[in-house]
Structure 1
Amino acid sequence: MDRIRLGTRGSPLALKQTEIVKRELAKAGVKVMETIIISTTGDQILDKPLYDIGGKGLFAKELQQALLEGKIDVAVHSLKDMEWHFPAGLQLTAVLERDDPRDCFLSLTHPHYDALPPNALIGTCAPRRIAQLRYRLPTVVTIPLRGNVQTRLQKMKEMGLDGIILAAAGLKRLGLESQIKAYFETNLMVPAAGQGVIALESRVDDHNINAILQQINHAATWSCITAEKAVLAHIKGTCHTPIGVYAYPLNNGRLALQSVLENEGRIRTALAEGDDPYELATQVARSLLA
C-alpha cells in the first residue's frame, strides 16, 4: 500500500500509542503512515462521569465513524476504553503485546495506599475501581475525576486529593513511571478488560489493511483479551458495571482468568483456568452471576 491513515484521539497518551503502532507497522514493511487526530465526545466533555454521558463508547464513536466513512484506515484505541461490541462493518483486527495491566496509586502526600488516613479523598470515576476500593479500603471517599493523565495529575494538586488511581501502562508510555507510589497487584484490584492493550480497529471488508494488521497482532494477548471481552459479553457489561476481568497465560500453556463483580452491594469473585478463551469466559461469568 502507498500509505496507511491512522486515526487517533489527540491526547498525549493517544499520540504516544499511535507512535508505538507506527513502529510495529514499520517492522511489517509499511513505509508511509499518516496520523489523523480526531476529537471524540469523551474528550470534549470532562465535567461529568462517563456513565452519565453515554459510556466508554464516547472515546471511540467519532473514530469509528471516520472508519466507516473511509477517512481513516485504522483506528488506534486503548482497548479498555472500548465496548465489547462493534458497529456493523467494523472489527477489532489486531492488538499489540500487552503492557503492564495493573492500576497504580499516585499521591503528593502519602507513600502508599496502605498509609491513607480515614476518609481519604481518592480521585477516580471508574465504578470498577470504586467498588474494589470500597471493599479493600472501606473508609476511602472517592471523588469524580476525569481528563487525560496530565489533567488528572494537575487536578490532584488543585483539589487537594490524598491520591488518584490510574492505569500503570499509560504512565509508563508517557515516561511518568516515577510518579507512581504503589501498584495494586491484580489480585487486589482486578484490571478493566483490555487494560494495558493497544487495539487496532478496521473495516471488515478492507482486506489489504487487515492482512497488514494481522502481521503485528500479538497472539498471546489476543487470546487473553478474547476471554476478557467474552466475560463482558456474557454479563452484558457496560461502563456502569463495576467489573474487573483479567486473563493471563500460565506456564503450562493454558489461560487463567480472574474477575470481580459488585452486584447489589456484594462483591463476587471468580478464578478459573482452561484452554479455550470462550469456554473459560462462560465458566467465569456463570460463577459471577450465580
Structure 2
Amino acid sequence: MRKIIVGSRQSALALTQTGHVIDALQQIAASQGLEVEFEIKKIVTKGDRILDVTLSKVGGKGLFVKEIEQALIDGEIDMAVHSMKDMPSELPEGLVNGAIPKRVDPRDCLITRDGNGLDDLPQGAKLGTSSLRRASQLKAYRPDLDVQSIRGNIDSRLRKLETEGFDAIMLAAAGLERMGWTDRISAYLPADICLPAVGQGALGIECRGDDLELLGLLSLYNDDLTATTVMAERTFLAELNGGCQVPIGAYAVRLHPSHSGQDENVIQLTGMVASPDGATILKETLQGHDPVQLGMAVADELKRRGADQILAEVRG
C-alpha cells in the first residue's frame, strides 16, 4: 500500500479542493486495482501570513506555493494541490505538474450587498478586490467605482462585505463553485469586461518529476483540453515574466470547427496587460494549433504595443 502525503494550504477552499482531488484519485486508483491511501499535511504560505498589505506590495512570485514546493523538494510531502492561478509560470527544478484536471468556471464574479450586477452598482460604489488585474479592468469599465484592497480567504472576504462597508466584492467563480456557494454570486463577469487570471478555474497537481509511480496515477486524472489551453496561458505569462502581482490576464479556449472554419484543434488565446489605474488596457486575440507558440505570439504582440513599459512601471 502506497501512502501519499498531500500538501495543502489550510484555508477552507484549499482543503475542499484537496479533498475533491483525493476523492477522484482514490476512485481512479481503485479502478486500476492500485492500493493507495492519502494523508493531508497543512502548510502555511507567505501569502497566507501577510494579510495586511496588497499582493502587489508583498512582492515575489509564488506567494501561495513556495513553502509547499519546498516541502515537496525536501520529501516532506509527495504531491500538492494548487489553484493554477497561484502557480508561477516556471516550476523549481525537479518538480512537475503531474495533472491538470478538468477546469471549472474561469470567470470572475461579483457579490453585491443588494444582489445587483455591475452596471447597477450606484455611482462611487465601494468595491473590494485583492487583484490588480481585476481592479484595473473594473476601473476601465466603471471609472466611478471606489476600488479598495480586500485580502483574506473567501469566507473572510464575504464577511467583510457585510462588516466593512463594501457595496460589492470580486472573487473567482471557481472558488465559490467548489465550496458550493454559487447562490452567493450576484453576477458573472464576461471575459470581455474582466479577462480571467492565467489558469483561473483550473487546478495544478504538483509532484516530483522522479516519482514515476505517482505520475502514472496522476496521468489518468489529467484533462488534455484543460492542460492544452492552460499551457497557452502560462506560456503567455512566462514570456511577460508576470505573476499575480501585475495586471495580466489570459484565457484560451479550443474553438469548435464551425467557429474556426478549420479543424477541431484550433486554440484561441486572448491576452491582456493593463496599467493599474485602468487608463491603458492592451488586449490581443490570436489563434493557433501549438499552445506554446500561441502564447509566445500573443505576448510578443503585446510587447510590441508597449506591454513591457507598463509592466516595468508596475514593478517599479
Q: Does 1:243 align with 2:248?
A: yes
Partner SS, residue 32 of structure 1:
strand
Q: Does 1:223 align with 2:221?
A: no
Q: Does 1:260 align with 2:265?
A: no
Distance 1:58 1:153 in 2: 22
Alpha-carbon distance change, 83 to 275 in structure 1, aligned in 2, over 3 angstroms: same
* Counterpart code for 1:13: L
Q: Does 1:275 align with 2:304?
A: no
Counterpart in 2 of 1:26? Answer: 26
The 10-residue stretch of structure 1 (30-39 or 78-87) with the greater mean CA deviation from structure 2? 30-39
Alpha-carbon distance change, 232 to 105 in structure 1, aligned in 2, over 3 angstroms: same
Deviations 1:182-211 (A, max 9, x none): 000112211000000111011122221112
Counterpart in 2 of 1:106? Answer: 111
Deviations 1:89-138 (A, max 9, x none): 21222111000000000011351110112211110121110110111111
Counterpart in 2 of 1:178? Answer: 183
* Counterpart code for 1:256: Q
Counterpart in 2 of 1:8? Answer: 8
Distance 1:207 1:24 in 2: 19
Distance 2:27 2:180 in 1: 23
Counterpart in 1 of 2:32? Answer: none
Distance 1:154 1:5 in 2: 32
Counterpart in 2 of 1:213? Answer: 218
TM-score normalized by the length of structure 1: 0.96
Partner SS, residue 273 of structure 1:
strand
* Counterpart code for 2:248: I
Q: Provide structure 2 residue ranges, at least 5 long, that are not aligned to the other structure.
A: 30-34, 258-263, 305-316
Partner SS, residue 251 of structure 2:
strand
**Is the CA contact 1:106–1:181 (under 8 Å) kept in the aligned structure 2?**
yes
Deviations 1:47-100 (A, max 9, x none): 111122234512101111110110110011001011111112212221110000
**Is the CA contact 2:86–2:244 (under 8 Å) kept in the aligned structure 1?**
no
Q: Does 1:57 align with 2:62?
A: yes
Partner SS, residue 3 of structure 1:
strand
Distance 2:156 2:60 in 1: 20
**Is the CA contact 2:55–2:244 (under 8 Å) kept in the aligned structure 1?**
yes
**Is the CA contact 1:103–1:168 (under 8 Å) kept in the aligned structure 2?**
yes
Q: Provide structure 1 residue ranges, at least 5 long, that are not aligned to the other structure.
A: none
TM-score normalized by the length of structure 2: 0.88
Counterpart in 2 of 1:285? Answer: 299
Q: Does 1:81 align with 2:86?
A: yes
Distance 2:222 2:69 in 1: 20
Distance 2:298 2:106 in 1: 19
Distance 1:51 1:93 in 2: 29
CA RMSD of aligned residues (A): 1.4
**Is the CA contact 1:110–1:162 (under 8 Å) kept in the aligned structure 2?**
no
